[in-house]
Amino acid sequence: MLELKGVCTYYGNIQALWDVNLTINQGEIVTLVGANGAGKSTTLMSICGAAALRRGEILFEGQPIHTMRPDKIVRLGISQVPEGRLIFPDMTVQENLDLGAYLRRDTRNIARDQEMIFDMFPILAKRRTQAGGTLSGGEQQMLAISRALMAKPRLLLLDEPSLGLAPIIIRQIFDIIRQVNKEGMTVFLVEQNANQALRVANRGYVMETGRITLSGPSDELMANPEVRKAYLGV
């Protein structure tokens, strides 16, 4: 579904990604794990069209997207939940959700999809008319995910959804990731929290200083002594 081939991304003269190769098949949950500063967000920005590639290519369903504008990439069916849950704090929960759906053409299904989201996150239905900024951190993450889901993407990109959240909320967020995947959405999950991420994902990639250093099925990575030592703390 998505293929990164030899991707090199720079910030000015500083190279952040070095020859990154990565594949995501339809229906999978794939995770990219790595320490702070490894290049995980840069990988997502490269996919979304927010960071220009200097070399390499990115194909979505066989079509090159690395030269496309970000809004065109969204229209193709790729939505990102950015790091730090960037919701609009002065807009209500409802308005934040409406924004997620603004590029959709199948407008008659929007209300139904919103009901599905309120079933998944009942707290958002309760907070519908509240300003986004008044929600707790966990609720804001739920809203950020819901806003991305309102775009009805085929590929959902999540940048550290568990960052800074309490264990019980993290569990809830990861349950939702499983659920939307079961319903057919392909998920690319970027996480420092390798333990949780590898548990939910089918396959994983490990990134260090802008390079993919390991990849494989999640259970193989979880059994790998290097991964256990460096990322799982065992």
Ligand X SMILES: Nc1ncnc2c1ncn2[C@@H]1O[C@H](COP(=O)(O)OP(=O)(O)O)[C@@H](O)[C@H]1O
DSSP 55-115: EEEEEETTEE-TTS-HHHHHHHTEEEE-TT----TTSBHHHHHHHHTTT-S-GGGHHHHHH
CB of 39 to Mg ion, least distance (A): 8
Give the range of 8-16, 86-94, 138-146, 163-171 binding ligand X by CB under 6 A: 8-16
Residue 34 interface partner, choices Mg ion, ligand X, none, CB cut-off 5-8 Å depending on type: ligand X
CB of 164 to ligand X, least distance (A): 14
Residue 57 interface partner, choices ligand X, Mg ion, none, CB cut-off 5-8 Å depending on type: none
Residue 205 CA: distances (Å) to CA of 23, 50, 149, 209, 215: 10, 21, 24, 13, 4
| Nearest residue (CB) to ligand X, 14 versus 234 | 14
| Nearest residue (CB) to ligand X, 31 versus 42 | 42
Residue 63 interface partner, choices ligand X, Mg ion, none, CB cut-off 5-8 Å depending on type: none
Helix extents (H) in the chain: 40-48, 70-76, 93-100, 110-120, 122-126, 137-150, 167-182, 194-200, 218-223, 225-227
CB of 162 to ligand X, least distance (A): 14
Interface with ligand X: number of residues (CB under 6 A): 11
Question: From residue 24 to residue 63, what is the string marking binding to ligand X with x (rule CB under 6 A)?
Answer: ----------x-xxxxxxx---------------------
Kindly state the greatest CA–CA separation across the chain.
51
CB of 69 to Mg ion, least distance (A): 22
Pick the closest to residue 26 from 124, 120, 164, 156 (CA basis).
156
Contact 212, 14 (CB under 8 A): no
Which residues of this protein are in contact with Mg ion, per CB under 5 A?
Answer: 40-41, 83
- Which amino acid is residue 223, in one-letter code? A
| Nearest residue (CB) to ligand X, 18 versus 118 | 18
Return residues touching ligand X (CB under 6 A): 11, 14, 16, 34, 36-42
